[in-house]
Chains A and B, each alone.
Chain A
């Protein structure tokens, strides 16, 4: 079993095998966060590496006041968001942060045939959401953090997290509803 206190102590004592263990334990968590904010495949890996280098450098400041996973997710979120903002300037498809003005692309869900295609379609819908909504959806559903933990990770108030979750899900539900209705016919 992964004992975070023991692993952290070993890493601080210079044990690189313990660090590798920590990377193995949290690489999926970091990837999920980074994956939603960054589109380029190579950039994703680079940012994940940067996250773990930062983790190693700053591990001595971790005081066990929160869960290690929350602390790591915060570093991943901040690193990914910095990278996202840096590359955002060069992107043409930047979306407004205000979801009320948000419209998905004109893909017609009625044309989707298999469940696999629907999963890919939902993935596409998530990627079209503003970055804060994407992050909240991922942290909650994929990383299974609570709203309070998401507040700790992103710095958004818990109420905002809940509201983003609700609105993003409602928006996506309205899109896939069309597919589900056509499937039932």
Chain B
């Protein structure tokens, strides 16, 4: 008759080993049965789970986030392109008509706060729009 302690029984069940019942003491037999019952139950899947359309919903959300990220990237690119184009045109004009360019720079200087306000407003509207879309998608 062999007496097994808790550690030995747990190890045996982990390795899915078995030992003839008759070789164990009564105490070990009871212990083994209790552990076996526990192991079987621990391996049982939970009764509840995720909804059947979970993968579709997540994919839709991720796709929306990807599109938003791409839109944001493009709006930054477009802003940069406009600024670069404006600087390029101004530089090009300066080569041929210095007077007109200096007049343009003076006008820009005069209305710099208005221009800045318009640019910042456009960016804020864009971000607010994206924030609201994201919030709506989360509901």
Contacts and interface: CB of A to CB of B under 8 A. Distances in A.
Interface of A: 14, 16, 19-20, 23-24, 27-28, 31-32, 35, 41, 44-45, 48-49, 52-53, 56, 118-119, 122-123, 126, 137, 141-142, 165-166, 169-170, 172-173, 176-177, 180-181
Given A16-B59, A49-B54, A177-B34, 18 more contacts: A16-B63, A19-B59, A23-B54, A27-B55, A32-B46, A35-B46, A49-B57, A52-B62, A119-B44, A123-B46, A141-B39, A169-B39, A173-B31, A173-B34, A173-B35, A173-B38, A177-B30, A180-B33
A14 B63 CA distance: 9
19 contacts: A16-B59, A19-B59, A23-B55, A31-B50, A32-B46, A35-B46, A45-B54, A48-B54, A48-B58, A52-B62, A56-B62, A126-B42, A141-B42, A142-B42, A142-B43, A142-B45, A166-B10, A169-B39, A176-B34
Interface residues of B, number: 32
Interface string B12-53: 000000000000000000110111011101111110111100
B58 A176 contact: no
A55 B33 CA distance: 41
Contacts of B46: 31-32, 35, 123
Interface in B45-94: 45-46, 48-51, 54-59, 61-63, 65-66
